[in-house]
Amino acid sequence: MLLTEKRDYKLYVDIRQGEGEEESPRNLTELSFSNLELLHEIVMSSLPQQRLPGDDCQKRRYELAYRIYLLEMALEVQKDTLKKSGRIAHLDSSEKSLIHYYLGTALTKMIARRLFQTDYLTHLSAIRQADGRYLNSPGSNRNDMIGAKLTENGYRVWSVKGRSQNSRNAMKIGCREVCDFQAISGGKPEIQAVCMTYYDGGYLNAAVQIPGKSYLKKSRQVSVDFERKSYLRAYYQCVCQLFSKEGERQNYRRDKKFYEDGIVTEIPLFSGGEAEKNRVLRVGISRKLLSCVRDGENGLEDCIQQLCWQETLDREQYMGGDGIYIC
């Protein structure tokens, strides 16, 4: 499978709400998306590893290329449905778990955006507090994600569970984790949900569980606090790290397809074979947005809301609602 190949995919998402007597009827939704939309979610998947020391853009670009390569090796396509590939069967369980996590993070982000109107989704531990220190999850081995809508001040909590098979235990753990959060920046979470990706009969599926009231009774009553600009900066940091800084060799060029001040960088991807040498992924952003994220300006939210781009139906490009485009 090559994610740079122009095609559409579909994924079935099983949405469940509550449990026991509170459980609502299950809702099975078919989600269709293009290869560029999936690549956009991979690029914009905020991960705890972006906190690691060193901001050399070459390292970040290589890490992204390797992440894409792993997902291409892990998946196959049958018509428009994604399947588990036998190419990674020889990997040990820890290596497979990492791939499942990468895939789960990207698809959770897409599902939260498409089905739950969550414009942004970023890892809790990528967000800085007002004193400059990073937030940490209230426990180990957790994948707590904080979501938000651009036009509203509230926040949502998501837990990512990437698995090789459907796991009720993983869902229960995720429900307990998201219910731990009683307040985010002074307000009650608008949505608390767990998203698990898994294989059923070799085909990739996803399930979303919105926990019932019984989990709230057992929660840790955790509150986290951060500024809106810190949240948005954490979200965009992963893509800004792909662009060279002042003093480094420039790795981008001007591109006016969408923005007057648009710039685009090319990420070299691993070869998919003799016929697919010299593959590149092009990622574009407004130069003003890039500067606002890097310089720590207070006007970051205004900058995002003022972004204007030319809509396109061209299958060669994809513009995300966050203003980052892929081509």
pLDDT in tens, 177-187: 999 999 999 99
Q: What is the chain's mean pLDDT, rounded?
A: 89
Is residue 204 a contact partner of residue 197, using CB atoms and an 8 Å limit?
Answer: yes
Indicate if the pLDDT at residue 190 is higher than 60.
yes
pLDDT of residue 62: 93
Is residue 258 a contact partner of residue 251, using CB atoms and an 8 Å limit?
Answer: no
How sure is the predictor about 217, in pLDDT bands with cuts at 50, 70 and 90?
low
- Tell me: the pLDDT tens digits for 221-243? 889 999 999 999 999 999 999 99
Q: What are phi and psi of 32, to 5 degrees?
A: -105, 140
Indicate if the pLDDT at residue 19 is higher than 60.
yes
Least confident of 239-243, 255-259, 265-269: 255-259
The more confidently predicted of residues 15 and 131 is 15
How sure is the predictor about 275, in pLDDT bands with cuts at 50, 70 and 90?
low
Strand partners of residue 285: 263
Instruction: Please spell the DSSP secondary structure of 210-263, one letter per residue.
Output: E--HHHHTT---EEE---HHHHHHHHHHHHHTTSPPTTSPP-EEE-TTT-TTEE
- Tell me: the pLDDT tens digits for 156-180? 999 999 988 888 899 999 999 999 9
- Tell me: the pLDDT tens digits for 65-75? 999 999 999 99
pLDDT of residue 310: 60
How sure is the predictor about 314, in pLDDT bands with cuts at 50, 70 and 90?
low
